[in-house]
């Protein structure tokens, strides 16, 4: 992705469960209360208010116990397409979205990624890395998909912002969504901007006093990138009061959780 891309370290999700983490990223509800999920506009809706056509292109279901919570948000997009368990369909879906005539687009791509039993890779990828374990092969597969997604964007415009992050980490061989285990919160964050006003240093201002960037910052990052003038006093309490939503529904300070579970 070139010299202007940044891979940000010390980033953690706000929950070890997809349904909570995505909802905390794309709406203004907090670990303490779901109220704002329903009473305030989501990031998707404020993007539409700014004139963006919004897309949800996903590989995970929007219904059931795991999907219905963020599915509530996903369905607020102008275009919603889900190809379950098939990340390889996403580059073509993205290509089609990019070809549409709308000038401004806000596109969310939700990958299947690296879930147990770690079968999300191709035979070709296995042959290329024949000494790698199944989990590492799913990482390679995800890297390949992200590369193809980026190539689709780069082929049509240089005026873009490309973000890749995860809604949760993984305790390899066990999974995620447990009461203990810091690894299920540790996530990647890749960022590349075609706008020099929003370079890598833009992301760094959301790093807290403990040196972490929380998934709770995603809503604020996206709001600014969508053109909203954000009073930092709004984001500052969430930044410095860094907490996570546990699997049993409690807000817990991340620093204390991490120190006890790393």
Average pLDDT for residues 47-73, to the nearest whole number?
96
Q: Distances in Å between the alpha carbon of 227 and those of 10, 90, 197, 234?
A: 26, 27, 12, 16
Please name each of the domains of the chain with its CATH number: 6-260 (3.40.720.10)
Q: What is the pTM of this model?
A: 0.95
Residue among 107, 196, 116, 111 at smallest CA distance from 152: 107
Per-residue pLDDT of 159-171, as tens digits, reads 999 999 999 999 9
Inter-residue long-range contacts of 255-260, CB under 8 Å, 24+ positions, other chains counted = 255/210, 255/212, 257/182, 257/185, 258/12, 258/182, 258/185
Per-residue pLDDT of 7-30, as tens digits, reads 999 999 999 999 999 999 999 999
Per-residue pLDDT of 186-224, as tens digits, reads 999 999 999 989 999 999 999 999 999 999 999 999 999
The pLDDT-based confidence of 3 (bands split at 50, 70, 90) is low
Q: How far apart are CA 89 and CA 106, in angstroms?
A: 19
| pLDDT for position 228 | 97
């Amino acid at each position: 992705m070139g010299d202007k891309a940044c891979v940000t370290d010390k980033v953690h999700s706000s929950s070890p469960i997809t349904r909570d983490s995505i909802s905390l990223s794309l709406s203004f509800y907090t670990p303490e209360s779901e109220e704002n999920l329903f009473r305030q506009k989501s990031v998707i809706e404020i993007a539409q208010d700014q004139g963006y056509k919004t897309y949800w292109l996903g590989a995970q279901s929007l219904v059931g116990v795991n999907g219905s919570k963020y599915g509530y948000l996903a369905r607020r997009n102008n275009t919603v397409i889900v190809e379950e368990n098939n990340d390889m369909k996403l580059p073509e879906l993205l290509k089609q979205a990019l070809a549409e005539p709308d000038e401004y687009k806000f596109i969310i791509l939700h990958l299947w990624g690296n879930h147990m039993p770690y079968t999300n890779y191709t035979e070709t990828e296995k042959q290329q890395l024949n000494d790698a374990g199944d989990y590492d092969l799913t990482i390679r597969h995800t890297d390949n998909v992200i590369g193809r997604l980026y190539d689709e964007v780069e082929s049509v415009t240089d005026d873009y912002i490309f973000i890749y992050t995860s809604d949760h980490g993984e305790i390899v061989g066990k999974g995620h969504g447990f009461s203990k285990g810091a690894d299920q919160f540790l996530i990647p964050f890749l960022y590349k901007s075609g706008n020099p006003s929003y370079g890598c240093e833009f992301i760094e201002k959301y790093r807290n006093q403990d040196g972490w960037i929380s998934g709770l910052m995603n809503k604020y990052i996206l709001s600014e990138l969508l053109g909203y003038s954000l009073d930092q006093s709004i984001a500052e309490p969430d930044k410095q009061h860094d907490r996570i939503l546990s699997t049993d529904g409690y807000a817990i300070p991340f620093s204390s959780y991490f120190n006890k579970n790393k």
